[in-house]
Amino acid sequence: MTASLHTVAAAPVLGLIQLPHGAGLALPAYETEGAAGMDLRAAVSEGEPLMLAPGARVLVPTGLIMEIPHGFEGQIRPRSGLAAKAGITCLNTPGTIDSDYRGEVKVILINLGEAPFEISRGLRIAQMVIAPVTQARIELRSAAGETVRGAGGFGSTGTG
Ligand SMILES: O=c1ccn([C@H]2C[C@H](O)[C@@H](COP(=O)(O)OP(=O)(O)OP(=O)(O)O)O2)c(=O)[nH]1
Ligand SMILES: [Mg+2]
């Protein structure tokens, strides 16, 4: 039997605290067995949707405080359906949720489409991937070791 990704015994536990304005909203969830990201919902007031004009951006509350285990991060990514259909994306994608952050998680959406976009309560606005992170030890050095690439970049290997 194949275990689903999220029932692996060693899976990290994501702690969630639902704030009062998030109460009643469905918790973030993996929509399919193999989904990489869990969808996040807009915790805007019922009956008071946010209208996002073309070109405008907005900080959308999720109504959630998270306890991401040490050694992991949350990556906030756009949903392709919103992007393809309406030009809605996350401005700072992938947004970084640090494991020591204890404020409300918010999603920065921007409307790159041509029409105003309505964000109503409960709309699945983005997805969050939990990913391992490594903190490097930093060493100040006097020079960098030589490589074939050297300082070539930004298209140095050609286009074809
Ligand atoms: O899309 C995002 C990005 C960040 N955050 C929260 C969680 C994160 O841990 C914190 C800081 O994010 P980041 O380091 O990207 O922002 P900053 O501008 O460097 O702020 P800070 O100086 O607080 O680190 O803000 C969100 O809620 N949503
Ligand atoms: Mg920062």
Query: Could you report the predicted ipTM of this complex, rounded to two decimals?
Result: 0.99
Single out the residue of 77, 88, 82, 79 nearest to residue 112, CA to CA. 88
Type and span of the H or E element at 120:
none
* Residue 72 amino acid letter: F
Please give the CATH superfamily to which domain 18-132 belongs. Answer: Deoxyuridine triphosphatase (dUTPase) (2.70.40.10)
CA of 128 to the centre of ligand 2 (A): 18
Ligand-binding annotation for 138, yes or no, is no
Q: What's the pLDDT at 10?
A: 82
Ligand 2 centroid – CA 96 distance (Å) = 8
pLDDT in tens, 31-46: 999 999 999 999 999 9
* Measured torsion, CA atoms of residues 75, 128, 88, 56, in degrees rounded to the nearest 10: -60
Percent of the chain scoring above 70 in pLDDT: 94
Residue pLDDT, tens place only, 57-69: 999 999 999 999 9
Give the global pTM.
0.93
Q: Whose CA is nearest to atom 24 of ligand 1?
A: 98
Ligand 1 atom at minimal distance to the Cα of residue 100: 9
Domain range list for the chain: 18-132
